[in-house]
Chain A
Amino acid sequence: MEIKKFKTLEERKKSISLKVENKQADIDCHKESLAGAVSQRACVYSGARVVLNPITDAYHLVHGPIGCASYTWDIRGSLSSGEETYRNSFSTDLREKDIIFGGEEKLDAAISELVEKYQAKFIFVYATCVVGVIGDDIEAICRKAEEEYNITVIPVQAAGFAGNKMSGYKAAGQALLELMNKKEHESISEEIKENNNIKISRATPKINLLGDFNLAGEMWIIKDYLSKIGLEVNAGLTGDSNCQQIMKVPEADLNIVQCAGSMVFLAKRLKKKYGIPFMKISFVGIEDTVSSLYKIAEFFSDYKMQYDIARLVEEKYRGISQELDRCCKNLAGKKAAIYVGGGFKAISLIKQFKSLGMQTALVGTQTGNAEDYQTINELVDEGTVILDDANPNELEYFMREKEVDILAGGVKERPLAYKLGVAFCDHNHERKHPLLAFEGALNFAREVDQTINSPVWKYVRRELL
């Protein structure tokens, strides 16, 4: 089977693959975006900012011209149970003369204002494109400010051009490690460090939840689940966390990694440095939620925990099954397209659509890796199109060709879907309702049902047909 006559750029062809039974996915990924292709990706700075932003008591100081701070102000629907400092966007708002003479002095002054006027204790300083070029030594300025004011000032090397969003995730991971370094971690035993053998002596094991940003309270939902099965969340990264909590990250017994794209780098480093093992989990969809919980129980070899999970799952499922069934009835046989940031999310979404009786006909991601695409390839039906770093041209073509009923994606993709008469599910970081775990699975089913089965399409299709 071949992709029908489709006009795309020659260099993009290797990034498009078609599922063929018993064949591995053949897809180019992890490449720089092709100039002029109108990629849906953002930049290094954006990757760093979205990961670090949810830290509630941090001052995010964007060193650069105004745009970067302007477009990322309060960008996520991350919730806080404490401070709300993170919801502001601070910038040195560099001007022409600063570019010519250097922006170090301005950054210095901006930090001192944050300390004097706002009693800032934790500041992240982001270097943007321009700063990467003019060479302001933000590391030195941060060190100097730390000494001068006895606070924590962490540089985030996030020049937009220095890679893609993935490099930004890494920069954020490095910044988080630096924050952890600010504290002595006596509680980590040498044995763990050396042998990487885990001995859990605590009555309540402590785990870190990496890659949850507490969108619409999702972190709170997961924390509740974990506490019901006898686990304590030591720190969440980075949803509803503060700097003190993050500094305690090395004291946990296990890291569970949800948003793999943004957090696997950090998880690996935490394993190496502090001996904390990690596992990838997902709370997107019921299937993944349940298997992730059992995976955690298996790690702790705890029968009581397995029993608690069974009880929790039964209780949660009972609460939503009737409504879920109703949605499934309305959705059976519909076709979905997925275009999201990370591979792990795409994988979970395919399963979730399947659980609703739907088939996925098109899957793409901005930053998926080869392993992700293999998994995707195994999960989808023959003929499904798989795309890496797609653009509006490709999304439009394949949505039409596959005659999909819905696209799950981010804000930029929404108007395109609507123009083509296709329903849409906002699976992005601005949403205001949880999409994780059982609660989120129901929300997801409802949203998909509400959009696919809205009466509006009846009228729209009259125009389109």
Chain B
Amino acid sequence: MDKNIKNLNINPCKMCMPMGAALAMKGIENSIMFLHGSQGCSTYIRRHMATHFNEPVDIASSSLTETGTVYGGKDNLYKGLENTINLYQPEIIATATTCLAETIGEDIDGLLREYKLNYNKSVNIIPVTTPGYGGSQYEGYYLTLRKVLETLSFKTVKEGHINIITAGMTPGDIRRLKEIVESFSLDYIIFPDISETLDGTIVKDYKKIPKGGTSISDIKRMSGAIATIEFAKLVKADISPGKYLEEEYAVPLYNIAVPIGLENTDVLVNLLSEISGKEIPEKLRKAKGRMLDGMIDAHKYNAEGKAAVFGEPELVYSVSTLCLENGIKPTIIATGSEAKQLRKLLNNDLLSLNQDGLILDDIDFEEIRKLAVEGGTNILIGNSDGHFITERDGIPLVRIGFPIHDHIGAQRKVFIGYEGSIRFLEDITNTLLDRKHDSYRERMYQQYYK
């Protein structure tokens, strides 16, 4: 094993499990996130989410101090929950642990059971075990969703709807996703649904808990769906919410890639057609035709692309396949999370296109930067932490993923579906074109003028 990865992480390409939990909970109606640990964790996560989404993000904390750390955090936890309920009147609270709570050995399940018995009975409280050292935001996200299902779902009669479990998508993406699903006249539950909660409007009556999100009654109905579509190509079965619904309630599960790129969108569209028994609507056919048309327009420029793709595993997978189907060489495909499956899946894609590229997981930006420079990468595709490389080595960055804290509008961008994908691809192509054109005269002069 590379010594560098083992002992020293330089410029992290990942965040912690509670961050994933917070992202997941923002898509659940009338909910609030409660972090059991010291005050800083909730503040840092709030800050990160506020700069990306430009929305207020309230996360409560049990604000553990020395006393709680030594004698157990029960008092703080209970008092904190009471205060949070008092202030926010939520219907549901996810209580996630932090490094600190886990390390002092807090039995969050037991503590919350006792709390429910003696205190507030009307609020749904979901315990989630998310130590910062137990994984990254990626695992925290799916695990939280699964815990919500485990706590809330129960056997319901079969209804005609489908479940869609979203991941790494923007609020704009989710609004587009709804349009696509609706075009098949399918009844659906989106879980979690951040389309309104993290991309709010200006309204007269500002709400501390923003409107929107998957409702509890919908979550309870998920076990009665005819199918679950989960955007989680790489997720481990034991934290997959879709897998839980399949195993517990026999809801057929389709684990597919986030629909960025032609093929990934095809997979979703065909699946929706198959499940609904309906033809693919004209509107989507046309959108696909336009995407293909656009891909042709761009293909020669894309052929000059050598990309470093990085970020959260699901997005890295979809963005890499978008690159591959457009002749952009993904020289580096990297995620800071642990995702061995990424290598397995993408290796086949790379081989089939007779391309090579480094597929890396559990990696930091120091290594990505080194490899990008060595590999002659001319474009970076990922979250805005990659800008550190742009600043130092001049490789331009096309932003996708989380966090994007140095640009605005991240919450409204659409990357999915045929239309989102071609717009995103054109961002990439135009970035390559700008790079080529901006240096054209000087380059030619240097190269050929004798």
Contacts and interface: CB of A to CB of B under 8 A. Distances in A.
**A interacts with B:** yes
Interface of A: 8-9, 32-46, 61, 64-74, 87-96, 98-99, 106, 109-110, 113-114, 117, 128-130, 132-134, 160-164, 391-393, 396, 411-412, 414-416, 418-421, 460, 463-465
Contact of B80 (A36, A72, A113): A36
Interface stretch (B8-16, B165-173, B246-254, B322-330): B8-16
Contacts of A114: 8
A134 B60 CA distance: 25
Interface stretch (B186-194, B200-208, B305-313): B200-208
A110 to B, nearest CB: 4
B9 to A, nearest CB: 4
A74 B7 contact: no
B151 interface: no
B10 A90 contact: yes
Q: Which one of B4, B53, B131 has the highest number of Cβ atoms from chain A below 10 Å of its Cβ?
A: B131
A2 to B, nearest CB: 21
Contacts of A110: 7-8
Contacts of A40: 43
A276 to B, nearest CB: 32
Given A71-B48, A161-B38, A93 B9 contact: yes
Contact of B99 (A33, A46, A90, A130): A130
A253 B54 CA distance: 46
Contacts of A44: 38, 40
A181 B70 CA distance: 33
A34 B63 contact: yes
A392 B208 contact: yes
A33 B84 CA distance: 13
A74 B87 contact: no
Contacts of A8: 87
A98 B134 CA distance: 11
B225 interface: no
B61 A38 contact: yes
Nearest to A416: B56
Nearest to B133: A65
Contact of B65 (A32, A37, A71): A32
8 contacts: A32-B65, A38-B59, A43-B38, A43-B39, A66-B132, A109-B6, A128-B99, A415-B57
Q: Which one of A61, A74, A161 has the highest number of Cβ atoms from chain B below 10 Å of its Cβ?
A: A161
Contacts of A396: 206, 208
Interface residues of B, number: 76
A73 B385 contact: yes
Contact of B46 (A106, A132, A412, A418): A412
A89 B10 contact: yes
B212 interface: no
Contact of B204 (A72, A88, A414, A463): A463
B242 interface: no
B18 interface: yes
B133 A95 contact: yes
B377 interface: no
A34 B87 CA distance: 13
A123 B76 CA distance: 35
Contacts of B103: 99, 129-130, 133-134
B44 A71 contact: yes
A109 B39 CA distance: 30
B393 interface: no
Q: Which one of B40, B55, B82, B208 has the highest number of Cβ atoms from chain A below 10 Å of its Cβ?
A: B40
B189 to A, nearest CB: 28
Contacts of B39: 33, 39, 41-43, 160, 164
Contact of A90 (B9, B136, B202): B9
A161 B47 contact: no
Given A66-B336, A89-B11, A161-B66, 12 more contacts: A8-B87, A9-B87, A35-B80, A38-B87, A66-B9, A66-B136, A70-B15, A99-B102, A160-B39, A392-B56, A412-B50, A463-B204
The 7 lowest CB-CB distance pairs between A and B, nearest first, are A43-B40, A36-B83, A35-B80, A67-B16, A36-B80, A65-B132, A93-B9
A93 B63 CA distance: 23
Nearest to B12: A70
B25 interface: no
A117 B367 CA distance: 13
Q: Which one of A37, A110, A464 has the highest number of Cβ atoms from chain B below 10 Å of its Cβ?
A: A37
Nearest to B82: A36
B115 interface: no
B255 to A, nearest CB: 26
A43 B99 contact: no
Contact of A93 (B12, B66, B76): B12
A89 B12 contact: yes
